[in-house]
A and B are shown apart, each in its own frame.
Chain A
Amino acid sequence: NAGVTQTPKFQVLKTGQSMTLQCAQDMNHNSMYWYRQDPGMGLRLIYYSASEGTTDKGEVPNGYNVSRLNKREFSLRLESAAPSQTSVYFCASSDVWTLYNEQFFGPGTRLTVL
């Protein structure tokens, strides 16, 4: 099992460009999440999908959109990138049937917006 995979690993964008970050999991988990990690800020939730067909905003959703394509895949889109979106982005998944929402993370996408 690959667990949670993310593509790309690194990306450099210019202000105003758009891109989609891809995430897939092979653990048959129902819930998936997108976080961003900035120095001194910890992991902050952008969007999550509790189950296929549903998405909800997290703590910092502005400037992002998501698509839960199917049970395996959850993508994050930046429509018009800004320097403030320079960050490391992590996708995670969890099994809705666990009591404590223990999450499994991908390796991250390091995004720089110039």
Chain B
Amino acid sequence: TQLLEQSPQFLSIQEGENLTVYCNSSSVFSSLQWYRQEPGEGPVLLVTVVTGGEVKKLKRLTFQFGDARKDSSLHITAAQPGDTGLYLCAPFRTGANNLFFGTGTRLTVIP
């Protein structure tokens, strides 16, 4: 059984602040996806990280895959109210038929 932990569970910050959320596991994965889910909507894919140590940037969002491919982080610079949502990580194992989703970090950015 793989264990997947996202932290923090809840995060409330002021507009303009920086933040980092984490996704940690005891298992090694071939890749990992980050999704954002806005209130009342389905999750939307943000990025897939594949290589250990990989860093990907999406405007103000920076995603990193751990060297051992067991963990990942998402850093948001100068958060905006539009960043509000539930951030889900979903590791993937080669050969698996489906993804396994973490419970998410619920981010609220206060104007």
Contact = CB atoms under 8 A, between A and B. Distances in A.
B98 A58 contact: yes
A4 B103 contact: no
Interface residues of A, number: 26
Contacts of A50: 97
A45 interface: yes
A102 B48 contact: yes
A56 B97 contact: yes
Interface string A77-114: 00000000000001010000001111111111000000
Decide if the interface of chain B is mainly helix, strand, loop or mixed. loop
B6 to A, nearest CB: 8
Contacts of A41: 103
B42 A99 contact: no
Contacts, number: 53
Given A105-B42, A105-B43, A108-B42, A100 B88 contact: no
Nearest to A9: B40
Contact of A100 (B43, B50, B103): B50
B68 interface: no
B97 A43 contact: no
Nearest to A42: B103
B51 interface: no
B37 to A, nearest CB: 8
Contact of B88 (A4, A42, A99, A108): A42
A53 interface: no
A92 to B, nearest CB: 8
Give the top 6 A-B pairs by smallest Cβ distance, nearest first.
A105-B42, A42-B103, A43-B101, A100-B31, A42-B101, A105-B43
24 contacts: A40-B103, A41-B103, A42-B102, A42-B103, A43-B88, A48-B97, A50-B97, A58-B98, A90-B42, A99-B31, A100-B33, A100-B48, A100-B92, A101-B92, A101-B96, A101-B98, A101-B99, A102-B48, A103-B43, A103-B45, A105-B43, A106-B42, A108-B40, A108-B42
